[in-house]
Amino acid sequence: MKEKNIVVLGAGVTGLSAAYRLSKDPAVKVYVIEKRNAVGGLCGSFKDGDFVLDYGPHKFYTLLDGIVDELKELMGEELMERDKAQSIYMHGRYYTYPLKMTEMLTRFPLSESFKILFSYGTQLLKNFISNKDAVTYEEFIKERFGNGLYQSIFAPMAEKIYGDPSKLDRKLAEVRISSPGLLSVVKQLLFRSKIDKSIQAPKFHYPQMGYGRIPEKMREIAERNGATFHLGAEVNRLEIHDGKVAAVQFTDGNGDRQRLVCDELIYTIPIAQIGKLIPDYSPRLESVCEKVKSRNVIIYYFLLKSGPILPSMWVFFPEQEFRFGRLSEMTKFSPSTAPAGHTALMVDFTCDPEDPVWKMSDQALGDLLLGQLEPLNLFQADQVVKRFSKRFQSFYPVYNVGFQNNLNEIRELEGRFKNLYFIGRTGDFNYNNADQCMDMGFQAADHILGRRKGEWNGLRTERFDRYKIVD
């Protein structure tokens, strides 16, 4: 029987999950092409001296059947269970997050507490009178939480991470905001109900030596099973013949041009790039791809000679005086990730390619951040052992109003090319957490191996498009 060649573009969690599962079948040969020199994407980790550093804060929590069992089988004794602790910084103090009604009423400035409650009551009346469906992120959030809470938290955080909330599609809020509204928060407070685990995760799993051990372990096993990884490689072109992707042309890590014949292609790299990979296919495709936008990510690291400095694992910063949106601390996830008497602070934010901070040198950006961090009194300048940034292009999908039409037009390629699968956060332009990325990879592998029934597009509508982000 002829061995089936399966090419996976991208070695993030989605691509690795597919490769990991496919590699267990002796009837297939798996090839993974990855632009970076390491696997995992933003779910990876790296070492700097005696520090193990993630690309921002990560937790593994899932509501999907079987995924935790897969993770435990993969990681074994490396996996820890952690109690989640997160905060938000406003008005010069830290609050638990998600915000508790008691804190909003007793610790917020009185004028703001009144504004939040009054605007919510007003919004309830508006909702009763009007049946107008929300179109934008802004309209959707105001309907559920009122203008006061929207202006205080949701709008500034959305602008920092995703862009202008008045131009963002409501789908972003449907996916990212797990709480059904302020009324549910009030009910939970009044009736002392237990935490709804479909809305927030009280505990999560984390590997002792950094989150990147998950993708690293999948690569180790996939390679042991015969999979081939091309790291530091650049995909140049997809060859189309007889209604399918017949081969992938790429430049490997040594700068040599390579060509891989493929029976199946799993696509997890940014979906908007496909227009340039099949330039002769359709001028319209390139035009549509240009309209599908993503934002870049910067994680800035301060390696410190200090004990723990944050009150929780990560802290959100909605206020505009802070350019960043979140701080996190590695040793809060695992003390094993830093030498004794040291810790690592991570500052993360998103930006557009033309944003001045994206073009800043590490020195200039670090100086800017030190100035913004100073009022928090987290550390002294002489405690900084090292500082630097890591930067990722095209990682945060931008769900502007109307984005779905452009995305659907690109996705139609799956119907035209029977061996093409768009999956993953960047490959399917989907706001996934790692558990959902893993599930997508497994589902694609099982579909290719004939282990599941039904059409591929049906799986997207019945499963992928119904994922909910649980914070």
Instruction: Please report the DSSP string for 94-149 in residue order.
Output: EEESSPPHHHHHHTS-HHHHHHHHHHHHHHHHHHHH--PPP-BHHHHHHHHHHHHH
Q: Which helix (H) or strand (E) holds 388?
A: strand 384-397
CATH code that applies to domain 4-43+64-78+208-292+400-466:
3.50.50.60
Q: Is the dihedral of CA 398, 297, 202, 184 positive or negative?
A: negative
Cβ within 8 Å of residue 58, ≥6 positions away: 43, 206, 211, 434
What mean pLDDT comes out for the span 59-67?
95
- Return d(Cα 275, Cα 279) in angstroms, integer: 6
Vertex 296 angle, CA 291 and 298, to 5°: 175
| Among the listed residues 74, 53, 7, 58, the one whose alpha carbon sits nearest the alpha carbon of residue 34 | 7
What mean pLDDT comes out for the span 437-465?
90
**What pLDDT score was predicted for residue 193?**
45
* CB of 16 closer than 8 Å to CB of 439: no
pLDDT beyond 80 at 182? no
Q: Which helix (H) or strand (E) holds 267?
A: strand 264-267
**What pLDDT score was predicted for residue 98?**
86
What mean pLDDT comes out for the span 266-279?
96
* CB of 419 closer than 8 Å to CB of 263: yes
- Return d(Cα 69, Cα 390) in angstroms, integer: 32
**What pLDDT score was predicted for residue 162?**
93
* Tens of pLDDT, residues 107-132: 889 899 899 889 988 988 888 888 78
* Tens of pLDDT, residues 348-377: 999 999 999 999 999 999 999 999 999 999
Task: State both tokens at 458.
Answer: 């049906």
What mean pLDDT comes out for the span 148-172?
94
What mean pLDDT comes out for the span 46-75?
97
What mean pLDDT comes out for the span 442-469?
88
Edge-to-edge strands of the sheet including 326-329? 93-96, 86-90, 314-316, 326-329, 343-351, 294-304, 384-397
**At residue 369, what is the residue type?**
L
| Whether pTM exceeds 0.85 | yes
* CB of 183 closer than 8 Å to CB of 101: no
pLDDT beyond 60 at 311? yes
What mean pLDDT comes out for the span 456-462?
85
**What pLDDT score was predicted for residue 179?**
62
What mean pLDDT comes out for the span 287-298?
95
Mean pLDDT over each residue of the chain, to the nearest integer:
92
- 161-to-295, 399, 428 alpha-carbon distances in Å: 8, 11, 19
pLDDT band, very low/low/confident/very high, at 48 (cuts 50, 70, 90): very high
Percent of the residues in the chain that have a pLDDT greater than 90, as a whole number: 78
* CB of 301 closer than 8 Å to CB of 345: yes
**What pLDDT score was predicted for residue 196?**
54
- Return d(Cα 80, Cα 416) in angstroms, integer: 44
**What pLDDT score was predicted for residue 190?**
41
252 or 195: whose pLDDT is higher? 252
pLDDT beyond 70 at 192? no
**What pLDDT score was predicted for residue 195?**
52
Give domain limits for the chain.
Answer: 4-43+64-78+208-292+400-466, 99-191
Backbone φ/ψ region at 5: left (φ over 0), alpha (ψ -120 to 50), beta = beta
The DSSP call for residue 29 is E
> Between β-strands 314-316 and 86-90, what pairing exists: parallel, antiparallel or unpaired?
parallel
pLDDT beyond 60 at 94? yes
pLDDT band, very low/low/confident/very high, at 103 (cuts 50, 70, 90): confident
pLDDT beyond 60 at 241? yes
- Return d(Cα 22, Cα 188) in angstroms, integer: 44
- Return d(Cα 133, Cα 327) in angstroms, integer: 35
pLDDT band, very low/low/confident/very high, at 140 (cuts 50, 70, 90): very high
Q: Under DSSP, is residue 383 helix (H, G, I), strand (E, B) or coil?
A: helix
- Return d(Cα 59, Cα 46) in angstroms, integer: 17
Number of residues that this document lists for the chain: 471
pLDDT beyond 90 at 200? no
Vertex 306 angle, CA 302 and 312, to 5°: 75
Cβ within 8 Å of residue 356, ≥6 positions away: none
**What pLDDT score was predicted for residue 124?**
86
pLDDT beyond 80 at 453? no
What mean pLDDT comes out for the span 400-421?
95
**What pLDDT score was predicted for residue 18?**
99
The DSSP call for residue 425 is T
What mean pLDDT comes out for the span 37-47?
98
* CB of 310 closer than 8 Å to CB of 327: yes
Alpha helices in 150-295 (DSSP H): 155-161, 170-176, 182-191, 213-224, 274-277, 283-291
pLDDT band, very low/low/confident/very high, at 232 (cuts 50, 70, 90): very high
| Among the listed residues 415, 423, 468, the one whose alpha carbon sits nearest the alpha carbon of residue 9 | 423
Give the least confident one: 15-19, 134-138, 175-179, 391-395: 175-179
pLDDT band, very low/low/confident/very high, at 334 (cuts 50, 70, 90): very high
- Return d(Cα 47, Cα 28) in angstroms, integer: 33
